[in-house]
Structure 1
């Protein structure tokens, strides 16, 4: 069968890493996927669509009949760091890797069609909190993960360079919040990096398991900040959206013993960073939703 990249993957790689780098890798993707399948003697079922934003995900079967998922990702998406994090968690709260070699990832099969977004909001947030709590462990000695300060410094530089008069006030507030937070970080734990409801899938070994980490080390409030704005379109559409958003910050902070103000600050920074990046990529509706949400904080 063919290994054509879903359009979401094409768009996301181009936006994040540049059209040139993404285009070169996407042109080689069918060959890379076939090599990965042949090397392990896998039977291919189908490519997941719309799939992920940083890799091609293929449902496969191992020679012994075990169902699995194969992720083929470009080297600039750091699949080696994803593998390191998943190996460190060893199935505790996250999908379990089935091998430890090669540029691609062979993972246990989860129910890709069932994420926490399929649950009512209150139940989804409860299950998400229980899942992310398991991931917050000390990193291995000599780990190669970047820190929250390092990742957000790059993002802050891009935000400063944008110079959009309409967003200048929010950008300034977000950058001020980030500077204060990184100057006084309370802990250094292994974080998922992109934790949200859509990144938690139903499994057989455990009810819910996280997938797709963009791992780094830092404080829990940073990791929780992306979850706060889940289903942002529903929040913005609701008459009580602003109050509901602020209550969500407090509820999640209290349930996971995270400082409310630190969570609010990281939620502000991450929402503004994502919003300005969406505007720059021409995704105006997404950007405006995120910036309206950020303005409530």
Structure 2
């Protein structure tokens, strides 16, 4: 492989899964990489940096010389659902999975993907254009999930996150945490509003330029539920710019309305999921010691 894994991957895995667990997998990563590459007959061009947060990304060449990307994720990151989602989308709105569904990579968590342009995401576009392209991309991902699918539900995922929020001991955050928990409870009160396959972590940085299509989504954390949940992370994109602007609060609320209207969704449901997910991310960042990120997220949440 050569060199060290990108720092962003090391930090993210340690924060999410525990530093000792992550370190053990990272120690074996050169061997894992060599095995995955040899099994497919690939040639490594380079590691993508800063890369992703859930696995090592490598630009490779297949035996016929065609370009591809190899993703190597730890088993504790449960890469199976990502594989299943990409296989179900079959390249519609998302990066195409090049491995057969039941073939190479299903056991070791590696995914061979079509080559996109990792240096060019929607964040490279002006904000208005980026949001327009993002809305068009995410709309294509919202499809019926396969029968007997392996994906967790929005209710199940957010229930775990709500439990972690309730354990927060920072009294200064109590009003925001209470508002976030109340929003989630109201949104889940009557059961799922929809049961569609969602990206789960959709944002501008997760949409890359491609050759087969102008923009394609990568890195899903797939979940089944209502579409409004999938917009919540997108709403707070470029949060640092929003917080720095004198009109940040009103701009954030307008963004909720614009995105909801462009995709024919209920504004209050988009606002509610945006509030819950921003507070949950902010508290988690604070716990991990990422105070600057936490402050930005929590200030943004307070505007909603």
Specify the TM-score bucket, using the shorter chain as the normaliser: over 0.9
Q: Deviations over 1:117-167 (max 9, x none)?
A: 000000000000000000000000000100001100111111111221111
Distance in 2 of aligned mates of 1:30 and 1:72: 11
Distance in 1 of aligned mates of 2:59 and 2:187: 41
Q: Which residue of 1 aligns with 2:118?
A: 112
Q: Give the deviation of 1:76 after TM superposition.
A: 1.4
Distance in 2 of aligned mates of 1:216 and 1:77: 14
Q: Which residue of 1 aligns with 2:197?
A: 190
Give the secondary structure class of the aligned counterpart of 1:143.
coil
Q: Which residue of 2 aligns with 1:282?
A: 289
Q: Deviations over 1:19-44 (max 9, x none)?
A: 12111111111110111001001010
2:193 corresponds to 1:203: no
Give the secondary structure class of the aligned counterpart of 2:167.
helix
Match of 1:131 among 120, 132, 137: 137
Q: Deviations over 1:190-209 (max 9, x none)?
A: 00000000000000000000
Q: Deviations over 1:161-193 (max 9, x none)?
A: 122111111001000100111123310000000
Equivalence map 1:211-226=2 (5 Å): 211-226=218-233
Q: Which residue of 1 aligns with 2:17?
A: 17
2:146 corresponds to 1:140: yes
2:132 corresponds to 1:151: no
- Confirm or deny: 8 A CA contact 1:42 1:62 kept in the other structure: yes
Give the secondary structure class of the aligned counterpart of 1:156.
helix
Q: Deviations over 1:236-280 (max 9, x none)?
A: 000000000000000000000110000000000000000000000
Distance in 2 of aligned mates of 1:141 and 1:151: 20
Q: Deviations over 1:45-81 (max 9, x none)?
A: 0000111001000000000011000000001111111
Q: Give the deviation of 1:3 after TM superposition.
A: 5.6
- Confirm or deny: 8 A CA contact 1:3 1:30 kept in the other structure: no
The runs of at least 4 aligned residues of structure 1 exceeding 2 Å deviation read: none
Give the secondary structure class of the aligned counterpart of 1:71.
strand
Q: Deviations over 1:197-226 (max 9, x none)?
A: 000000000000000000010000000110
Distance in 1 of aligned mates of 2:75 and 2:159: 22
- Confirm or deny: 8 A CA contact 1:192 1:216 kept in the other structure: yes
Q: Give the TM-score normalised by the residue count of structure 2.
A: 0.97
Distance in 2 of aligned mates of 1:73 and 1:40: 16
Tell me whether 175-184 or 248-257 shows the greater mean CA deviation: 175-184
Distance in 2 of aligned mates of 1:156 and 1:76: 21
**Count of matched residue pairs:** 297
Q: Give the deviation of 1:4 after TM superposition.
A: 2.5
Distance in 2 of aligned mates of 1:77 and 1:182: 26
2:179 corresponds to 1:165: no
Unaligned runs of 5+ in 1: none
Give the secondary structure class of the aligned counterpart of 2:187.
helix
Q: Which residue of 1 aligns with 2:252?
A: 245
- Confirm or deny: 8 A CA contact 1:4 1:30 kept in the other structure: no
Give the secondary structure class of the aligned counterpart of 1:95.
coil
Unaligned runs of 5+ in 2: none
Q: Give the TM-score normalised by the residue count of structure 1.
A: 0.99
